[in-house]
Structure 1
Amino acid sequence: MKMLIHDLEEEYLLQLLEKRKDIMITSNNTPIQRCIGCFGCWVKTPAYCVLKDEYSDLAPRIAACNEVILISRCTYGGYSPFVKNVLDRSIGYIHPDFTIRKGEMHHKSRYPQQLNMTAHFYGEDLTPEEKKTATDLVQANGLNLNTEKKQVFFYQQPDEMKGRIL
């Protein structure tokens, strides 16, 4: 199973992807509340966000997958607000305790499997600095989430992704 987190209009996404049963799609089709930093997903309701909306169970949904695919407008070298919000609300995927990984302190994994993470950024006239920042961000997020493999791709327009996402 794969989880696709994206900021595209739904009808536009359908032009890029075939419908498949092995993909969970997380879209901006219902309002998402912002993470309030309460850490309830770590200690109060482990893995589940205390904010009640369509996105409160992101961590277990991610845990059911072997790959997370991100499609995001590259915003100053980072994710679009929606994609960033989804990732923030997914922090319950990792455990609040720490471990040393590659000589750095990171949160322990809550789930045993390792994911792959692929990010597809789009945006016109992205600078080399924005691309480097985005690549570094995905690498850092992947290390924090204890992913096995991380890939980053850049496109001028979202339609260039057709046939390249899966």
Structure 2
Amino acid sequence: MIASKNLIFIKAAMQNKTVVSLVEKASAEIWYKLPDATSFEHTCYVSIGKEIVEKEIKSVAAIARYCINRAAARHLKRSKYEAPTSFRDLAISKGNDEESAEYEAEDVLANVENALVMKETQKETISLLAQGDRRRNLVLNAWANGFTDSREISSILADTLGGKSESHRKFITRFKTECRAVLTA
């Protein structure tokens, strides 16, 4: 329950937008270390409000920073919070009859390695299917990058290699069936 005299201090502190933004920023930085972040914010607003109401101050922002730092130090010192060091510490313990929740860490390095292996495999496949032909290589790289519209690819081939886009489109259609046959074999 908030004491009525503290409401005056809280009101005085919260009328200043700088104070509110500083308290919110500090609370956002340490919320995970506190059992109750609202208690920290309450302490900040009351102490800043007392300074504003009872004393003549030159800089509201400076006194706000001072009070916030002091309140943060006090709340963090009194807090019994210990950060979990492993996923096992995060397991939610339930009753004896129910199981606890287990967390499986994602191996990010393995995913990167798999992506590199896939990229290398893709490059090898492209070079085998292209057989040294520049036009085939361009078509395969376009497909690998997600461009599947034969008309767009054929117009790019016409601009890059010359010739008519219609003949390139027919080539792409024939090459697509040829690639499917090779890859399924």
Q: Select the structure that is richer in strand.
A: 1
Which has the larger Rg?
Answer: 2
Q: Select the structure that is richer in helix.
A: 2
State if a TM-score over 0.5 links the two structures: no
TM-score class, shorter-chain normalisation, is under 0.3
Higher relative contact order (CA 8 A, sep 6+): 1
